[in-house]
Chain A
Amino acid sequence: MDIARTSQDDRYRMAAAQFAAAIERLARGYEADADLARDLVQEIHAALWRSFAYFEGQCSLRSWVYRIAHNVAVTHIQRSRRARKGGFDTLDAIDDLAAPDDPEADAGEAQLVARLMATIHRLAPADRQVMLLYLEDLTATEIGEVTGLSASAVSSRIHRLKTLLAKPYADKEIG
């Protein structure tokens, strides 16, 4: 039995089991089209499996997985050339969470998720990555490790994001 390969398989299985749901959400954050998002999930898993041939603990497993996933997603978007040129907003330019892509989304938690997703789709790549990672509970340091943004750039974005997330409550849109 090939020990190196078995180890690669095991490491992949462990990481994939832990992050599968996050990878699926990340893919939907990059790809609004459901079929293309499914393709992107497959692409990320294939890259993740291959990446474990190179993983030697250079960073935490979580940072490694998110780096691979975001790098594959950004490359996927660029390759498909469907990224809207100049059509993205920054977190600073948004005053409120966007209306859901699907106006008939359910109320309550599902509607909040739909609004988060619609906001993510509007954001420029770096801000989109920060928002996706923040929602997955990564710390500011980990977000910096994955995105390459400085600590102050990450923290100003997180501050802006917190204000944005609090707005519906302040406006009593969400109880």
Chain B
Amino acid sequence: MMSPEDQARQSWQSSGSAAALPPIEELRGKADKFRRKIRRRNLIEYISGAVVLLGFGWILIFGPLPWTPAVIPAEIVRLGAALVMIGTVFALWQLHKRTAPLDPPADGGRNSVLDYQRAELVRQRDAIDSVLYWYILPFVPGLSVLMLVPLALSPTIGELAWFKVVLKACIVPVSLIGVWWLNKFAARKLQKMIDEIDALRAE
């Protein structure tokens, strides 16, 4: 007599029916679609970078925009623009390098499910855990020059209440700290998922 597990397996394996296999041309088309998706993602990154570089490149070449207060030296504005451009190029390069996901067909067969999932989570955690170094700090020199120097040189600074000065000086750093904190929070959530996988692997 068949054991319950053999009966369950037999019933399971005789259930459902495989639909006709998709034609190879259709699978090739799907692979091309995947490549197009990656190319589109890269293109969006490059276009956003190009817009920032064009804007600040304009300032670098032609000088401050018409509404920039005359008291701020053009060289300072140009320096700030150049620093933002350097920061943008660095951040884009890092974004491209750190955020490409693992590809199931290329990496999924070589790794067990737990190893594959762990590798993908570690990649995501490392990318967002280090966001301070590759996405925030590169913009700090340029933004400092463009935000703080005009504030320091403003002829009306002496007339402003102290809290208004602090508010103006802190708005950008506080925003950047907020971005950093949110990413740290997300990295901790990913770490918890990695710990769960490690616990399963240690069983």
The residues of A with any CB-CB pair to B shorter than 8 Å are 9, 12-13, 16-17, 20-25, 28, 38, 41-43, 45-51, 53-55, 58-59, 64, 67-68, 70-72, 74-75, 109-110, 112-113, 116, 125-126, 129, 134-137, 144-150, 152-153, 156, 161-162, 165-166, 168-169, 174
On chain B, the number of residues with a Cβ less than 8 Å from chain A's Cβ atoms is 42
A112 contacts which of B8, B21, B115 (Cβ < 8 Å)? Answer: B8
B109 at the interface (CB under 8 A from A): yes
Residues of A within 8 A of B8 (CB): 112, 116, 135, 165
Contact B5 A71 (CB under 8 A): no
Chain A interface, >50% SS class = helix
Sample (21) of A-B pairs whose CB atoms are under 8 Å apart: A20-B18, A20-B21, A24-B17, A50-B34, A51-B104, A51-B105, A51-B106, A51-B108, A54-B105, A55-B109, A64-B109, A67-B110, A67-B112, A67-B113, A68-B108, A125-B113, A150-B202, A152-B203, A165-B4, A165-B8, A174-B4
Asked if A148 and B201 make an inter-chain contact with CB atoms under 8 angstroms apart, the answer reads yes
Contact assessment for B200 and A149 in the assembled complex, using a CB-CB cutoff below 8 Å:
yes
**Contact call B116/A71, Cβ cutoff below 8 A:** yes
Q: How far is the CB of A65 from chain B (nearest CB, A)?
A: 8
Is B44 positioned at the interface, with any CB of A under 8 Å from its CB?
no
Quick one: given A74-B117, A113-B12, are A45 and B108 in contact (CB under 8 Å)? Answer: no
Instruction: Report B-chain residues with C-beta under 8 Å of the C-beta of A41.
Output: 19
Bound-state CA distance A132–B107 (Å) is: 22
**Is the CB–CB distance between B13 and A67 below 8 Å?**
no
Q: Is the CB of A166 within 8 A of B105?
A: no
Binds A, one of B24-32, B141-149, B179-187: B24-32
Tell me whether A148 and B15 are in contact (CB under 8 A). Answer: no
Further 9 A-B residue pairs, CB within 8 A, beyond A134-B5, A149-B201, A150-B203 = A21-B17, A43-B30, A46-B34, A49-B24, A67-B111, A68-B104, A74-B117, A116-B11, A146-B112
- B105→A70 contact, CB < 8 A: no
Contacts of A51 in B (CB 8 A): 104-106, 108-109
* B104 & A146 in contact (Cβ 8 Å cutoff): no
> For the complex, what is the distance from the CA of A74 to the CA of B22, rounded to whole Å?
21
